[in-house]
Amino acid sequence: MIKNQHTGAKGFRGILVFTGIVEGLGKVEAVRPIGTGFRIGIRPLFSLQDPLIGESISVDGVCLTVTSVEAGLLWMDVSQETAHRSTLGGTRPQELVNLERALRIGDRLGGHFVLGHVDAVGVVKEVRKVERSHWLSISTDPKLSIYMVEKGSITVNGVSLTINRVEGATFEVNIVPHTYEVTNLKHKQSGSKVNIEVDILGKYVYSILTKRADLPLNRESGLTLKKLEEYGW
């Protein structure tokens, strides 16, 4: 998915949440080691108005902070932990990445709430074209399977997608032609690695039902994890 470019007032930095509606692509032009991590320089391939120092940007689904802007190049620091837990650790110059600025008050929420905190790295198992769309089969950490349900939301490389099928730790998503063309998902093939973030709402619900058994939610309402799964959560 892709959303309209930001216009008007500068970004509202008090809300660090994204929507999974990618604004456009960026090209990695430099990767410089710094401390135990590295600094990455990205040039947006679309009109990104007034980028702010300290602004949060989702880079392939990873929330990073702009530390400087030089000649149109956005510089962001990637920590050792972030590099280890996401695909950014293997980023090289000339690669294309999906970019999205944090949601602002008044923006339309066209995808779902995305935090930019990668849960795991997934591996594309299969890519197949079905009529005009492309289906991706992706395997990920088995621990995430409890948060994945058919017709639920999931973020792949920062793109908000709908899960069409789940089997164990493998899920399938359908990418419509527009999303396929304007994001870097069109460059993925069998064996490609992608960043995965499951729906935060599902994680909260699971946590409440499994760790807070003393809440009235369990005793009085009869609401259970199984029932929520049946209802599509």
Res. 14: pLDDT tops 50: no
Residue with tokens 């959303």: 3
| pLDDT greater than 50 at residue 2 | no
Cα 90 to chain centroid, rounded: 17
Q: What is the token pair recorded at 173?
A: 């998503």
pLDDT at 52: 82
Give the Cα-Cα-Cα angle 161, 165, 171 (nearest 5 degrees): 70
C-alpha span between 113 and 160 (Å, rounded): 9
Domain extent listing, the chain: 120-208
**13 vs 173, higher pLDDT:** 173
Checking if the pLDDT of 176 tops 80, the result is: yes
pLDDT tens for each residue of 61-92:
999 999 999 999 999 999 999 999 999 999 99
Mean pLDDT along residues 145-156: 95
Beta bridge partners of 156: 159, 196
Burial 210-226 (b: 16+ CB within 10 A, else e): eeeeeeeebeeeebeee
Buried b / exposed e over 67-87, threshold 16 CB at 10 Å, is: eeeeeebbbbbbeeebbebbb
Segment 191-226, tens digit of pLDDT: 999 999 999 888 888 888 777 655 554 445 666 666
pLDDT band at 16 (very low <50, low <70, confident <90, very high): confident
Under 8 Å between Cβ of 137 and 172: yes
What pLDDT shows up at residue 225?
Answer: 62
Return the CATH architecture of domain 120-208: Beta Barrel (2.40)
